[in-house]
Structure 1
Amino acid sequence: MLSSQPPLRAKQKVHMLRAFRVVAWIGALALLPACTGICQAANQGAIPVVLRYDDYSSVTPTALDSAVIALAKQYHIPITIAVIPNVCSGDFHSLDPETSVPLTPQKAAILRDAIASGIVEVALHGYTHQTVRDPSAGGYTEFQGVDYNTQYARISAGKRMLEGAIGRQVVTFVPPWNTYDSNTLRALNALGFSVFSADQSGTTYGMGQLKSLPENASTANIVGKIQAIRQGTAAPGPLVVLMHPYEFADFYPDDSGWQTLQSFEQLLQWLVAQTDVQPQTLAGLALGQSVGPLKGDLNGDGQLDIPDVTLALQMVIGTRKPTPWDAFVGDMNGDGVITMADAIIILRTVAGVLQ
């Protein structure tokens, strides 16, 4: 006897097949190690990475600065922009008197818009960035070896100018050329700064309440450093990536730049696809403030749990259409779409299989 049921349409068959797969994977969850207490979040054991973009000012190419910020926003990668508020208009390396240029309204507006996105932190990067010392006497510096009162006055003036331009408090200081001394640190503490980022060679005497996050990587070696941490051949810890405008060969062709906007975008694409990498800003990392989304957190509650797995599976079988934000947060393997592979990664992380 022939069945009275109409034949299944091809689309219905596809949905049924996907549904069976979903049931199978949910069943597989029971075979995975159970969570103890609160399910483990994906950022447990993550490698913190901070992008520190130095020298933003009225004399750096606006198109480049805007493009760097736009790419960070596009890929939801937090970034700290270290700003020179009253930049030397001539040669940073000259001891001759130079005029200074305050942050222009256009450059200030770009920063305000970037801050509003929640992705960008603005740090103070000196005052004029002009050296006060001949390099033969110990290298370029704006502050090192300068008396306390002068340093305090310059940093205070820079802080006041920058905060006035962006309408926000500035809590992070990045010294030009990464050079400073104990008087610099004393002045920063007196002026209420919370975070400090130079390199790993300077003094810690006078650090006081400042949280120090020295730069220790570049865009040229960050991938290798992350892989070394994974392999256990390098000590775990935050990676602070130092960047300058002059590194971009498409804007500074005569400065031996080693990257372009295209290669920078490729790096961001790689970073966003790494489930064990947690991008942050300097202040966000030092002060324990989460910046940027937790990958896989589709319901936005700040942790990875079973509801996130459920949402991912609904998107896989087609019963829930992912928004562009869902597509970013839920794309765990970086292939641009949410698939069963992404749902499996979220599920395994929730179950504690991925650390």
Structure 2
Amino acid sequence: MRLVFCLAIVFMITMPKISEATQLKIMFRYDDYSRYSNIEVEQALFEAAKYVGAGVLVGVIPFPETPYPSDILDEELVRVELSKQKIELLQKYVAEGVVHVAVHGYSHKRNADIAIKSEFTGLSEEKQISLLKKAKASLELVTKTSIHAFIPPFNQYDKQTLTALESNDYKLISSGFRGATLSSSDLTYLPGGPYFQKLKEVIVSAVSKGHLDAI
């Protein structure tokens, strides 16, 4: 995995700066930012994105592998389990307009009540509202920025998740190419894009074909 991101960074810094070459819109999605992820790779990725004029939607796991609160109605905020260095890294690139923070689940633990890998699918709407509220508020407190994006762990969610997102003032969900939708909703759906292995190929193809609104 580390090799993949290193290759992606090399591709990014060897490309011409977007501002000098085209007005192509590019947003990278980086999942699983947590106390366990590699801060050196993340810093290099964010700096490379800044260099080429791109943005990174960073899915942060606020409480990795942590049990859910016993009282879902308890509104007391819990400190996000990120080191000072991890928090400062996010704050720096958020302030520079490079990073956009997204809630990437509450704990990213698999919900054992269902067969597929998912944290939220199958949970009651009330519980999802509580978990998404706590995760969002706790991340906003440490990053000092408003958060309106959600990346569901394992790219899995259900209609109750969407209702819970709207209840907590989320505006965007980024998942896979398939998933539940609401017939009437203000949510924006951003499907996942190609993996880093095809990064350069996709960008070159978009520019050559004049698809400058591609993200």
Relative to the length of structure 2, the TM-score reads: 0.75
Q: Among residues 128, 131, 135, which one is paired with 2:107 in the alignment?
A: 128
Q: In the alignment, which residue of structure 2 is the partner of 1:51?
A: 28
1:55 is displaced (CA, Å) by 0.5
Per the alignment, residue 165 of structure 2 pairs with: 188
Partner of 1:103: 82
The structure-2 alpha-carbon separation of the partners of 1:206 and 1:126, relative to structure 1 and needing over 3 Å to count, comes to farther
Q: 1:64 to 1:224 in 2, by over 3 A?
A: closer
Counterpart in the other structure of 1:77: 54
- Residue 237 (structure 1) shift: 6.1
Alignment partner for residue 39 of structure 2, among 27, 49, 62?
62
Residue 196 of structure 2 corresponds to which residue in structure 1? 219
Determine helix, strand or coil for the equivalent of 1:213.
strand
Which residue is equivalent to 2:214?
A: 238
Q: For residues 52 and 184 of structure 1, do their structure 2 counterparts lie closer, same or farther at Cα, with a shift above 3 Å needed?
A: same
Inter-CA distance 223–217: structure 2 relative to 1 (3 Å threshold): same
Answer yes or no: is the 8 Å Cα contact 2:58–2:100 preserved in 1.
yes
Contact 2:80 2:142 in 1 (8 A): no
Matches of 1:207 and 1:218 in 2, distance apart? Answer: 31
- Using a 3 Å threshold, how does the CA distance of structure 1 residues 238 and 146 change in structure 2: closer, same or farther? farther
Task: Pick the structure with greater CA Rg.
Answer: 1
**Residues 113 and 229 from structure 1, CA distance in 2 versus in 1: closer, same or farther, beyond 3 angstroms?**
closer
- Secondary structure of the structure 2 residue equivalent to 1:201: coil
Give 2:11's aligned residue: none
Equivalent pairs counted in the alignment come to 182
Query: Unaligned regions of 5+ residues in structure 2, if any?
Result: 1-21, 68-78
Q: Aligned in 2, Cα 1:225/1:69: closer, same or farther, shift over 3 Å?
A: closer
Instruction: Say which SS state the counterpart of residue 29 (structure 2) adopts.
Output: strand
Cα distance between partner residues in 1 of 2:208 and 2:40:
38
Uncovered stretches (5+) of structure 1, i.e. residues with no partner: 1-41, 91-99, 240-355
Residue number among 163, 175, 193 corresponding to 2:140 in the alignment: 163
| Alpha-carbon offset, residue 224 of structure 1 | 3.2
Residue 221 of structure 1 and its aligned partner are, at CA, apart by 1.8
**Shift in Å, 1:51:** 0.3
**Match in the other structure for 2:98:** 119
- Identity between Structure 1 and Structure 2 (%): 28
Report the Cα distance in structure 1 between the residues aligned to 2:116 and 2:148, rounded to whole angstroms.
Answer: 27
Preserved CA contact (<8 Å) 2:110 2:117: yes
8 Å contact 2:119–2:153 — kept in the other structure?
yes
Q: Displacement of 1:226 after TM fit?
A: 4.0
Aligned twin of 2:126: 149
Kept in 1: contact 2:33–2:59 (CA 8 A): yes
Which residue number corresponds to residue 152 of structure 2? 175
Residues 235-275 of structure 1 deviation map (CA, whole Å, 9 limit, x = unaligned): 98634xxxxxxxxxxxxxxxxxxxxxxxxxxxxxxxxxxxx
Residue number in structure 1 paired with 2:76 = none
Q: State the partner residue of 1:205.
A: 182
Q: Is the 8 A contact 2:26 2:54 kept in 1?
A: no
Deviation readout 1:264-307 (Å, 9 max, x if unpaired)? xxxxxxxxxxxxxxxxxxxxxxxxxxxxxxxxxxxxxxxxxxxx
